Structure 1
Amino acid sequence: MIIASLSHIIMVVGGRCGVCRRNVSQYYGAYSCSVCPNYTVHTRCAINNTIWNFAELEGTHEKIEDIAPFKVVEHNLIRHFSHSEHTLRLLEDIVNIHDVYECIQCEACLRLVEFGPVYSCTECYFSLHEKCANLPMEKRLFFDPAPYTLRYDNTIIYCNLCGMLNDGFRYTSQGIRMQYHYVDVHCASLSEPLVHNRHLHPLYFLETNDNYCDACKRARADYMLACDTCNFSLCLYCATLPEEIRHMSDEHPLTLYCGGKGNGKNWCDVCEVELDPSKWFFACSDCEVALHVQCALGDFSRLMPGKLYTVGERECEVVLNNLYTRPFCSHCRSRCKAPVIFKDNGEDNRYICSLSCLSSYLCIDFC
């Protein structure tokens, strides 16, 4: 994020603009960061209303408020703002969390706690990845000059950047851009240049009206991550996909693949439809299991199973789709394929398989 403490310079030797990614001419004025001398911005780009907050800071020092998300009680023991009633202890060995550690999700990002060191509550099942526990209380995001504040209140939000429902940590805007008032913690954690393990070159944010994501092949009219070197783009949903997941279809972890696996055809073990090798998918490196991203994660992977929510005027529960017989979706009448689904507790335990079905079923536009 560019802030208004950048100093105006007359000569810039080469380089690219940090906003539009085009070359910066040495014969024109530009803005340069006093801390990062290699970061320059065209004058016209710097005064864009999505970049500049219209505050004149010449002659003033930049104020950086570093508000800690927790208080240290003692060595490896903290009291986090999101769980102030109990203390959290840092555990390097995840097996020591609870007997059911393989099922416990991080309250911030909703991913399993088995991947990485974790803070675990000394009295209940509340857990946070060490990285998530250290998320800053306030930060500036790439599309808005106003700061965002970290929140956690056990309610569902819809993130317009990745198109996902989320009930974990989220960043809330202090500005006026209501389209991005709530930002999923996964999207808020992206920064540029983004070095993604599934692409050779660094990626930069790009606001686009019509661009295809190279991972899911869907058109996006929003912010994406694009490569300066080649014609490669990622939507923010695909950019935040986990590189490794657990799925009930295999005892081994499944890895994110960005190309065909093996020489033959691959079939999804959930929906039994052939995989498109040009799209990203999850597969086991030890056996033949392969899954579409949608079948492996679904639309509700960032919600906590077992929780009850009021959506519209209905009480719905987030449940695991782990029965021997998968239920039928009450809207599309297909069997629910995703591992996490919705259950309408007020309508004879009807099930909803996806976000689009939930939107149509409850007549709610989440976008």
Structure 2
Amino acid sequence: MEEKQLNHFSHEEHPLILSELRKENDDGSIDRKFVVCYGCQEQILDPAAYCCFACHFFLHKRCAELPRQIRHPMHSQHDLVLLGKPPYYSRSCICDACGQDDWKFFTYHCSLCEFDLDVSCAILDQPEILEPREIELDCHHHRLIQLEKPASFLCDACGKVDEDSSYLCTICPFWIHKKCALRPTTVKHKDHNHPLHLAYSLPSDYRKFSQQCSVCWKKVRLRDWVYYCGPCRYFVHITCVVISQKDEEQLSEDNEYPISGEQDQNVVKLPSSNAAQELIARFLLREDEMSSSNDSDKSNIPEKIFLISHRKHPLVLSEKVQNLDEIKSTTSDDQEEAKALLLVCDVCIEPICSSDDLQYYACAECGYFVHLTCSKLPPELHIPKHPQHPFSLTCKSSEVGRFICGACHWWTNAACYNCKPCELSICIKCASASMITSSVKHDGHKKHLLTQFHSSDPIHCTACDFLSGGFRFACEDCHFYVCYDCALLPPTTTQRWDKHPLLLIYPPYFEHSEEFYCVLCEREINPNCWMYHCRECDYSLHPLCVPQIGTFRRKKYGRSLNVNNHSHPLTHVPEAKYKSFCGSCDNKRLDWKPAFECESCRFYLCPDCAFKKELTY
């Protein structure tokens, strides 16, 4: 070998000579000198190295040719200078990358910041020092270089602090774990039956509404790397995906939960077009009574009854002539709607016509109607999820009669069950739902049965995305929580300007991967929530925007009351006329809002003022 000398700053006493460190003997064996590189403190396994045999000083060829000055991504604000040993009084330092202490050899150093890297961390521990391995990712504009030596840092891909090999950008502060950088672009997950595609941030098409990981149930942030299925709107953090051949072979399907014949008798099936009455009947009658009840029992129904909620006149047993949906009339839409609103149960605020019973109780003089089941409600109720106190059936103290239900959290003028010590009132429909002691099978979650759930902490309802505490049905394994109000939504409904039925539909919407807009409020519908849809006309609505669901499902309109300073009774109407004002509270506009109206005087009161001014007798 031609002798090559090098004057190196780390060994100024003598020049270093590039020498062979192994020799082949006559018998074919090889003698290798065991020497350690002064710069990196690793054994020199290369055939040749720079040596000073007199001082027993050796350097890898690559260590001897290191650049004297570099810009490192871990300390990009200043250049690092290569020193033969740390510049401190102790002649040792702690590496700021790997944490190795008492390092006394080649060090890349920043004197301004007292920042130090041992040579292995600084040169990326690569055989090709000046040409390190690099990768390119679609999510980043610059090439990334690989750091083989593990380091602990906050990964820009998964957002976790783990000690791992990594990839760095030398131009901007972008640093990711090696395992994140090498993620496959498509995977299969054991809990989803479609391939999931890698996205380096939450895709822009899904940013309008909050998304959550379907494994850990935490929110998916905009900058998170995720695997997702677009048509299903299914998202999983990259650290939550379990990738294995076993997982790929056992992909789950959204099959219905198998229920045995014995279970089927006890399971409550929702949605139902007559859910409130069915649930009331369940807790009024024992199971054996429900199965043995027949038409002969109904012959014992009294012709007249008195209820505490209506003391003025007796309620007379009446019979429905025909379903109001089949009434043929030449009247206008508004008149037809007003006619339908008349026959609403004053106890549960559900249409009389929706009940399976052909009979009901009525006071024609007052326009007061009650389902047969609602007329039998017990005066006291013991709700399983609120065992500390009984609930008492409470009569409305006024014609306005409004309160906020402690279960569904809506204003209503239905009758209620009240727990006085806890100051908790629950409307009849929610009370009937809270009495379910068996499991619930709901079409909105076919994988598992639902059970009663109560929490004082706010939880998002899966169906409407409203945040509230209280009573609901839940599948805790799937983080599926549905409030009573949504659980009792009917499977179909109608609205006056469309002859087609509106169907309650649930995500994922495979046939409608695009955006949804409510045709009534003209706002976008969260595609992770339930909605009503007309298949024939291909339009969608928020459930609350459908008048039969949002306006008329919680309040009975048409009731009249007398108030101070006005000689005529006022009628509760769902919509005040255009350019109408409250006659009490600073002329507040009431256009198309619920109000109390004197039709002869065009005098209006908002519900708040009507409640304050109502005359009680």
Identify the range of structure 1 (146-155 vs 97-106) with the bigger mean alpha-carbon deviation.
97-106
Question: What is the TM-score with the length of structure 2 in the denominator?
Answer: 0.38
Letter in 1 for 2:594: I
5+ unaligned residues in a row in structure 1: which ranges? 1-64, 67-71, 353-357
Which residue of structure 2 aligns with residue 277 of structure 1?
527
Letter in 2 for 1:234: V
CA 1:136–1:235: 2 relative to 1, 3 Å? same
Q: What is the aligned counterpart of 1:303 among 542, 552, 555?
A: 555
**Contact 1:159-1:184 within 8 A present in 2 as well:** yes
CA distance in 2, matches of 1:170, 1:335: 30
- C-alpha deviation, 1:219, in angstroms: 1.7
CA distance in 2, matches of 1:212, 1:176: 27
Letter in 2 for 1:160: G
5+ unaligned residues in a row in structure 2: which ranges? 1-283, 286-296, 329-335, 613-617
Partner of 1:238, secondary structure, is helix
CA distance in 2, matches of 1:122, 1:140: 28
Q: What is the aligned counterpart of 1:226 among 470, 474, 483?
A: 474
Partner of 1:209, secondary structure, is strand
- C-alpha deviation, 1:185, in angstroms: 0.6
- C-alpha deviation, 1:249, in angstroms: 3.4
- C-alpha deviation, 1:341, in angstroms: 2.0
Deviations 1:122-152 (A, max 9, x none): 6625433344344333221122432222234
Which residue of structure 1 aligns with residue 360 of structure 2?
120
Residue 340 of structure 2 is aligned to residue 102 of structure 1: yes
- C-alpha deviation, 1:169, in angstroms: 2.2
- C-alpha deviation, 1:313, in angstroms: 11
CA 1:326–1:109: 2 relative to 1, 3 Å? farther
Which residue of structure 2 aligns with residue 147 of structure 1?
390
- C-alpha deviation, 1:277, in angstroms: 1.7
Q: What is the aligned counterpart of 1:185 among 413, 418, 428?
A: 428
Which residue of structure 2 aligns with residue 211 of structure 1?
459
Letter in 2 for 1:189: S
Q: What is the aligned counterpart of 2:405 among 159, 182, 185?
A: 159
- C-alpha deviation, 1:105, in angstroms: 1.4
Residue 445 of structure 2 is aligned to residue 199 of structure 1: yes
Letter in 2 for 1:342: A
For the pair shown, the structure with the greater C-alpha radius of gyration is 2
**Contact 1:97-1:120 within 8 A present in 2 as well:** no
- C-alpha deviation, 1:319, in angstroms: 1.1
How many aligned positions are there?
Answer: 282
Partner of 2:516, secondary structure, is coil
Which residue of structure 1 aligns with residue 494 of structure 2?
246
Letter in 1 for 2:360: S
1:260-275 pair list within 5 angstroms: 260=509, 262-263=511-512, 264-275=514-525
- C-alpha deviation, 1:272, in angstroms: 1.9
Letter in 1 for 2:318: R
CA 1:284–1:111: 2 relative to 1, 3 Å? farther
Which residue of structure 2 aligns with residue 319 of structure 1?
573
Q: What is the aligned counterpart of 1:292 among 542, 545, 562?
A: 542
**Contact 2:517-2:524 within 8 A present in 1 as well:** yes
**Contact 2:518-2:539 within 8 A present in 1 as well:** yes
CA distance in 2, matches of 1:78, 1:150: 23
Residue 421 of structure 2 is aligned to residue 176 of structure 1: yes
**Contact 1:76-1:89 within 8 A present in 2 as well:** no
CA distance in 2, matches of 1:244, 1:156: 27
Letter in 2 for 1:176: P
CA 1:322–1:236: 2 relative to 1, 3 Å? same
Which residue of structure 2 aligns with residue 255 of structure 1?
503
TM-align CA RMSD: 4.4
- C-alpha deviation, 1:184, in angstroms: 0.6
- C-alpha deviation, 1:214, in angstroms: 0.6
**Contact 2:414-2:555 within 8 A present in 1 as well:** yes
Q: Relative contact order (C-alpha < 8 Å, sep 6+): which is higher?
A: 1
Which residue of structure 2 aligns with residue 33 of structure 1?
none
- C-alpha deviation, 1:348, in angstroms: 7.2
**Contact 2:363-2:369 within 8 A present in 1 as well:** no
Between the aligned residues of both structures, percent identity stands at 21
- C-alpha deviation, 1:110, in angstroms: 1.4
**Contact 1:116-1:130 within 8 A present in 2 as well:** no
1:30-179 pair list within 5 angstroms: 75-82=300-307, 85-89=314-318, 91=320, 93-94=322-323, 102-103=340-341, 104-118=343-357, 119-121=359-361, 124=364, 125-141=367-383, 142-153=385-396, 154=399, 155-173=401-419, 175-178=420-423
Question: What is the TM-score with the length of structure 1 in the denominator?
Answer: 0.60
